[in-house]
Amino acid sequence: MTGTTSDTPAFPEPPRRPARTRVVIAAALVLPLGLAGWFGWRAVSGGSGPDARTPAPTASTASRDSLITDANSDPLGTSPAPSGTAAPSPSAGTGGAAPAASNQLAGRTVLLDPGHNSGNAQHTKEIGRQVDIGNARKECDATGTSTNAGYSEAEYTLDVVRRARAILQSRGARVVLTQDGDRPWGPCIDERARIGNDARADAAVSVHGDGAPAGATGFHVIMPARVTAGLADTSKIVEPSQRLGLLLRDRFKEATGEPFADYIGKQGLDTRSDLGGLNLSKVPKVFIECGNMRNADDARRMTDAEWRQRAALGIADALTAFLTT
C-alpha cells in the first residue's frame, strides 16, 4: 500500500489480552474436543472399558461362497497332495478368495470313497472276482456308468472327492481316500470298507453317480440296513449312519439345488443291505448317488465344474455338521 513499509502493518494492531484470559479460552476449546474424542473411542470399542476390542473375524464367519469361487479350473490338479502337506484351497490358482482355515474338525478323521476307478475297464478279470460282503458274495468292483457324452462316473467321483477333501482339510480334518487316481484299478468293495475301518474314521461317505434310465432324475443317499451275517455287523453304525444320511441329503440339496430322486427311495433316502461298502463298515458310513448321469439335465449339471464344487461343499458341510453337533 502507498505510504507503508514492510515493517508496518496495514491496519492498527488490536490491544493484547492478558495472559490469564488466553489460558481460559484455550481450556474452553480443548475440553469439548477431548470429550468428543472420548465418546468416539467408546463407540468404536463397544463402551466396555479400556480393554474392550472389536472382535476379530473368525473362520466360522468366513463367507460360504468363498468356497465356490472360480471352481472351473480343477483347482486340485490330478495328483494327490504330498503326505503331511495341506492340499490347495478350492480356489487356489484361479484368482478367487481362498477359504479361511479353521480348526473346527481338528482331531477328526474322514474317509472319502470315490466310486469306481477309470482303470477298471482294463482290469475286468481283477474286478470281476467275488468277495465276501457278509450276507452274500459280490463282484470286487464295477466299471461304473457315464454320461452319454462319455464323462465317466469314476472321473466325476474323484473330482468331487478331491474338492471335498480340500474343504475338509481347510477345517482341520484328517482326510483319508480309498484311492486318489494312484491305483490301476479298484480297490475292491471289501477293501474300501476296510480302509475306513483301519483309519478309525469318525465318518465316511462313498460318492457315486447313477446310471438309471434317461427319464429318471435326481439324487439320493443310501444308508446301511441292519445286517448281522458272517463278516458283516452294522448294528452299531445304523443309527449314526442314518443321522449322517439325513444331514447329507439336506446339505447336498441346499448346496446344489438337485432334486430328490424320482425313481428310487423316498424323499432322497434309501436303505440297502446288499452293498459291501456299507455291510462291512465299522464306522458311520453312507453312499450318495449325486444324480443320474444318463439324464440330460443331471448330466449337464454334473459335468459343470462349478456345480461339482457345490456338490463337494454340500458333502463337506454335512460331514462337518455330523462331527460337530
Residue corresponding to grid cell 466310486: 115
Residue 289 annotated in active site: yes
Cα–Cα dist 42/137, whole Å = 72
**Which residues neighbour 69 within 8 Å (Cβ) at sequence distance 6 or greater?**
90, 91, 94, 96, 97
User: Cell triple for residue 234?
Assistant: 452294522
In this structure, the dihedral spanned by the alpha carbons of residues 158, 164, 165 and 166, taken in order and rounded to 10 degrees, is 120
Is 147 in contact with 214 (CB distance < 8 Å)?
no
In single-letter form, the type of residue at position 277 comes to: G
Cα–Cα dist 317/59, whole Å = 14
Is 245 in contact with 287 (CB distance < 8 Å)?
no
Torsion sign (Cα): 57, 58, 64, 67 = positive
User: Cell triple for residue 318?
Assistant: 454335512
Of 153, 191, 258, 289, which is the active-site residue? Answer: 289
For residue 224, the surrounding DSSP H or E stretch is strand 220-224
Q: Helix or strand or coil: residue 112?
A: strand
Burial (CB count <10 Å: 0-12, 13-18, 19+), residue 2: exposed
Is 325 in contact with 292 (CB distance < 8 Å)?
no
Cα–Cα dist 308/157, whole Å = 9
For residue 257, the surrounding DSSP H or E stretch is none
113 strand-pairing partners? 206
Is 202 in contact with 108 (CB distance < 8 Å)?
yes
**Which residues are known to be catalytic?**
289
